Structures are given as C-alpha cells and as structure tokens.
C-alpha cells in the first residue's frame, strides 16, 4: 500500500496539475508580460478530435517507474468529451473524464469524474450557481468557463488556437479549475517554441510553464513543471512534465502520432 501511495502522488500531480488558491472571477484571466490584464471573454477554437497515446516515465520516492497513458478528446454537435487515463502494471491506474457544452468562449463542464481506488464526481450546476462535490466538500461558487482537471488542457489549447498572436512570450493564463474537492487557480506562462524529440518523433511545440500557488508569485523561474502544445495539431498536448522534487517526478510524452493527425505536419511551427 505504501508503494501505491508513493506512485499515486506524482501521478496525481500530472493528472491534476495541482495548485492551491480560491476560486475568483473571472474564471479565465489573461495577463500580459507587462502585468496588464486583458479584458473580455477569450476567443476559442476547438482542437481537432484525437486519441493521444503517451509513454510515461517517472520517479516515486526515488524509485523509477514506467507506465502508459491515453488522452482522448472529442467534440460534436456543441458537446465535448475528454478522458485521460494512466495505466501502470501491478499498481492499477487512474481515469478522469469530463463532459459538457462547447461555447464561443470555450468549454463549460457539466460533470467531472475522477476514478482510482475511489470515485469522485463533480457536478457543475449553472442553474443553482454552484459546483457540487460528491465526497463531503462544501459546494463552491459556479462561474462560466470554470474548468476541471481534464478540460483545462483543451480550454487553454483552444484559446491559443483561436488567437495565437494574442499570447506572446511571458503572457499568463489563469484558469479556475475544479479538482475532486475544491476549485483552485492554475497559472500557465507562455515560454517558447521548441522542437521536441519524442517517442512519436520530432514535434514542434509551444512550451507553457505551470506555476502552483507556491511559485506563482516568485515567477516562472521557480517552476519545474511544464506543458507542451502542438500548434500544427490545434494546440493539442504532446508532453506534460511534473517535478515535485528530484525524487518525485513524472513525464508524459506522445508515444505515436494518431492516425487522425498524420495528415498534418508535426514539425512545422506556427508563426507567432
């Protein structure tokens, strides 16, 4: 049981991009590198439907492990479904899913389910103005464009797809996101374009640093976690790296290029 707990800790970080803080309006906020806030709701464009397989490596309490993961994204008829699942031999896995509506400014989750040894359900009740957690936590205030641990990837990716030049280096995107117990801000900082050498081959990607509550004020230099999105594939995620310490880390890298993306160049970056 101790080994399972050790493994699930960094896994939970990667699946949740964990951060601390309280829900605040607006649910999505963009701040320029100079510190000025951009007003108005963001433009948003759906990334293409895809099932993305990942190779997973990491450390838990200093012990190395390997796993596999899949991130599925589907949009149709004004609705979306997003599922991410990590599987590890002998130790089980974790499955998180999000379903909801697609609006002109992005995703409006309705139900988020987090299933490992236990199942947690989060209901986004717009009519009642609250977000309800299935296991004991008090409801949180609902606000339009509040995301969950899965939909947040695609909310940010869709914002970049709709207006890539609106997010130069140093821009911060803050998204309020629900976990299985609370709503907290995730902060992403636009870093730079890179060509990644992944198991799937070379992929041009935009790197976003992830800041938690402890390092958001200190600045991007304090972050050891990052998310890479592929502009040529509608800003779908191709790598996720989380590092809590030298002995607790996780790295998800695109394993193969899905059939539905093979007609798009993987190495041609989008001009910003």
Nearest to 15 by CA among 124, 134, 113, 142: 113
- CB proximity list for 35: less than 8 A, separation 6 or greater: none
Nearest to 24 by CA among 157, 134, 186: 186
What is the C-alpha to C-alpha distance for residues 61 and 213, in angstroms, rounded to an integer? 23
pLDDT score for 124: 97
Asked whether the beta carbons of 123 and 110 are under 8 A apart, the reply is: yes
Asked whether the beta carbons of 225 and 237 are under 8 A apart, the reply is: no
- CB proximity list for 221: less than 8 A, separation 6 or greater: none
What is the C-alpha to C-alpha distance for residues 16 and 18, in angstroms, rounded to an integer? 5
How many CA atoms are closer than 13 Å to the CA of 40, on its beta-carbon side?
7
pLDDT score for 1: 31
Q: How far is CA 84 from CA 65, 71, 73, 222, 271, in A?
A: 19, 4, 9, 27, 29
Beta bridge partners of 192: 207
Q: Does residue 55 sit in helix, strand or coil?
A: strand
- CB proximity list for 87: less than 8 A, separation 6 or greater: 67, 68, 69, 93
Asked whether the beta carbons of 111 and 121 are under 8 A apart, the reply is: yes
pLDDT < 50 stretches in the chain: 1-24, 271
pLDDT score for 39: 82
Q: Does residue 222 sit in helix, strand or coil?
A: helix
Domain ranges of the chain: 2-66+147-261
pLDDT score for 86: 87
């Amino acid at each position: 049981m101790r080994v399972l707990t050790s493994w699930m800790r960094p896994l939970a970080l990667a699946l949740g991009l964990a951060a601390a803080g309280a829900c605040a309006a607006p649910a999505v906020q963009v701040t320029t590198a100079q510190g000025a806030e951009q007003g108005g709701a963001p433009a948003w464009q759906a990334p293409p439907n895809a099932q993305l397989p990942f190779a997973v490596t990491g450390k838990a309490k200093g012990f190395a492990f390997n796993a596999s993961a899949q991130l599925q994204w589907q949009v149709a008829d004004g609705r979306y479904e997003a599922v991410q699942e990590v599987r590890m031999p002998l130790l089980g896995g974790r499955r998180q899913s999000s379903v909801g509506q697609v609006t002109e400014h992005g995703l409006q989750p309705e139900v988020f389910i987090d299933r490992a040894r236990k199942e947690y359900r989060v209901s986004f009740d717009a009519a009642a103005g609250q977000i309800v957690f299935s296991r004991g936590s008090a409801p949180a205030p609902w606000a339009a464009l509040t995301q969950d641990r899965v939909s947040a990837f695609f909310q940010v990716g869709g914002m970049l797809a709709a207006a890539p030049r609106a997010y130069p280096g140093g821009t911060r995107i803050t998204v309020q996101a629900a976990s299985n117990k609370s709503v907290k801000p995730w902060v992403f900082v636009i870093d730079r374009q890179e060509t990644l050498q992944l198991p799937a081959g070379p992929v041009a990607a935009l790197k976003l640093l992830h800041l938690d509550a402890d390092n958001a004020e200190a600045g991007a230099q304090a972050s050891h976690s990052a998310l890479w999105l592929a502009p040529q594939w509608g800003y779908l995620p191709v790598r996720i790296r989380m590092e809590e310490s030298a002995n607790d880390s996780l790295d998800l890298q695109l394993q193969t290029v899905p059939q539905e993306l093979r007609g798009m160049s993987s190495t041609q970056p989008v001009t910003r």
